[in-house]
Amino acid sequence: MATIDLQKKSVKIVLEKKQLTKVTARVGLVLDITGSMRPLYKNGTVQNVVERILAVADQFDDNGLLDVWVYDNEFSRLKPVSEKDFSGYVDREILNNDRLHKFGRNDEPPVMKDVLRKYVAEEPSSYPAFIVFINDGGCKKSIKPIIEASSDKPVFWQFVGIGNGNFDFFNKLDTLEGRVIDNTNFLHIEEIDRISDDELYDALLAEFPFWLKEAKEKGIVREQEPPAEKPKKKGFFSRLFSK
């Protein structure tokens, strides 16, 4: 069985455990591409991250696509990745893409504003957005007002710290005041390529169900109705005799 199929199976088990199998959500991935991340792009770790989060999108997402951003002191929206074209995605769309700014310093607010622009302004939807935000330390504290301002929007920020950088600000996210609801979670994984799929997905989706419940209670996320059954077309003879 292909790796992506095994990852999808792991996601499905976690979704069942957390009673999320009937939830549809848009899934986005924001990738740190600052200078300190260069080795993880070169050695395939980031490609592996893309594939693992794609498995979440495939099980969760409204269209099976994973929306992707990269950022350093600039940011870019990339072509979404799907199960059809995930192989070699990082090399093709990031490392070999000369138009992308990469391996500079970090500046998180502009990319976070663009994520909100896409999901709230450009493509409003009844489906919530689940954003996995990868960072290897040193995040700017100026993301605080953005987190606060987006706390009444159908967007959940799942920050993931990788490596052993400085994550002091992320560790204080739970105590941020001035929010309608707690719209963030932080997960620190020192070596993301060593954690099992089951552990990763269980941790990634730990807080999302609680946010989703409260967001529905406060009217931030609308209850999703099951798709209506399409009326069966009558055959020629049944149409004839029903007249």
Q: What is the pLDDT of residues 161-173, one digit of tens each?
A: 999 999 999 999 9
What is the reported pTM? 0.90
pLDDT exceeding 70 applies to what percent of the chain?
A: 91
Q: Which residues contact 204 (CB under 8 A, 6 or more apart)?
A: 56, 132, 158, 160, 187
Q: What is the pLDDT of residues 90-128, one digit of tens each?
A: 999 999 999 999 999 999 999 999 999 999 999 999 899
**Angle, alpha carbons 74-124-231 (nearest 5°):** 140
CA separation for the pair 133, 147 (Å, rounded): 13
Q: What is the predicted pLDDT for the residue at 120?
A: 97
Least confident of 21-25, 26-30, 212-216, 224-228: 224-228
CA separation for the pair 233, 239 (Å, rounded): 9
Q: How confident is the model at residue 64 (pLDDT cuts 50, 70, 90)?
A: confident
CATH superfamily of 3-242: von Willebrand factor, type A domain (3.40.50.410)
Mean pLDDT of the chain: 90
Mean pLDDT of 189-204: 94
